[in-house]
Amino acid sequence: MSETVCADVSFGIGGFAFYLAMVAIVLRLPWAFSPARAVIGVALLAYAAVVAAAAVFGSGGNFWTVSIVFWFTTLLFLMAFGAVYKSVSLRILLDLLGRPGHAGLYSAILARYVVAESFENRLIVMQENGFAVPTSAGYALTDKGRRLAGAVGALHHLFAIDRSG
């Protein structure tokens, strides 16, 4: 590889290392943002910093090489983070690890993770995000919820998704 390509790859990898450090810091701060939004926002900010650093300190660097290296590693991390962050199976394993004898009743696991996590907590999230409101008859979509549901329905139709979730 030429010196320029090595420098570009170094900027991309260095930017990814900077991104990981920033994620580790930001996720420990008491923010109003969800961890998912935080890791995406930090990725965009870190990318801007990497491109700026490459432009200032790189001598004749290639924007595309820096971008490819940064985003390839960052997207791999984001995919792994998303899987770990949202995996119900991993949460059940951690729950069992913390229990005496590393075991739990099927009915207790079902109640905690299917009933509470899959339904009750989802309704709270829908309320917090302004997608639905409780009514005397149950839950009703807000205008924001109707727009989101319409967009999701259009995507389901476009990609022939019959069932999801």
Q: Could you report the per-residue pLDDT of 74-105, keeping only the tens digit for each?
A: 999 999 999 888 887 888 888 889 889 999 88
Percent of the chain beyond pLDDT 70? 94
First to last CA, the chain: 46
User: What total number of domains does the chain contain?
Assistant: 2
Asked whether residue 104 is domain-assigned, the answer is: yes
pTM, full prediction: 0.70
Which residue reads 């829908």 in tokens?
Answer: 126
Residues 12 and 82 in one domain: yes
Closest CA to 58 of 22, 5, 17: 5
What residues have CB less than 8 Å from 154, skipping those under 6 apart?
none
Confidence category of residue 165, pLDDT binned at 50, 70, 90: low
Instruction: State yes or no: pLDDT of 159 exceeds 60.
Output: yes
Residues 13 and 81 in one domain: yes
Mean pLDDT of the 95-122 span:
83
68, 12 Cβ separation under 8 angstroms:
yes
Asked whether residue 123 is domain-assigned, the answer is: yes
- The continuous run of DSSP H or E covering 134 comes out as strand 132-135
Note the Cα 51 to chain centre separation in Å.
Answer: 23
The average confidence (pLDDT) of the chain is 88
Instruction: State yes or no: pLDDT of 33 exceeds 60.
Output: yes
Q: Which pLDDT does position 21 carry in this prediction?
A: 96
- Which of 86, 114, 145 finishes a domain? 86
Residues 7 and 82 in one domain: yes
Residues 7 and 37 in one domain: yes
State the residue range of the domain holding 134. Answer: 90-158
Q: Which pLDDT does position 32 carry in this prediction?
A: 65
